A and B are shown apart, each in its own frame.
Chain A
Amino acid sequence: MTRKAEVFFRSVAAIVGGYSIAAVFSLAFVPVLVWLQWCNQNEAVMIATMLSYIIYFSVIIISFSRESTLLLWRDIALTLCLGCAMYLAMGSL
């Protein structure tokens, strides 16, 4: 892969991938918080959304520091799937 393409794919991973992971996290973490009975659902929405920015930030940093772009995208896809699965599993509880 040329350097330009690599930078492009990493930037997309950081910005779009990070945003999607943050969005999925903000959805998936709400049922967890409610299930743990730490707070009610509305509060959980707020807390999950606030925490998802930390996730976003870490994804950005990881995107630019992982050695392989391919592995990076694999991890992002896996994390997204995991988040969706968690959301579905917790939702059916």
Chain B
Amino acid sequence: MIISISLQIFGLLCLSLAMEKHFKATFARPLTQQLKLSVKVLGFFATGLSVFFLLLLAHPIPISIVKWMGFLSVHILLISLIHSRIALKAKR
């Protein structure tokens, strides 16, 4: 479960960084097309792997799926908060 959850947040982080706005604010340089593609692929791969581990290791599966969905929501909120913080600092 822990592996799956950490892969999930890593994947979401990659996906969020694949967006130009957030990448620019975080690393202060523009996102090249190639980098964007690779980060995106990495993000989807990690999320997919997270689902794979969930189905493979977690038990019982229905409850784990509920857990996975719950963490998905919380992680998106967390990442949004981090990005908004970074954006606010960059503005100042």
Q: Do chains A and B touch in the complex (CB under 8 A)?
A: no
Q: Please give the residue numbers on chain A whose beta carbons come within 8 Å of chain B beta carbons, in ascending order.
A: none
Q: Please give the residue numbers on chain B whose beta carbons come within 8 Å of chain A beta carbons, in ascending order.
A: none
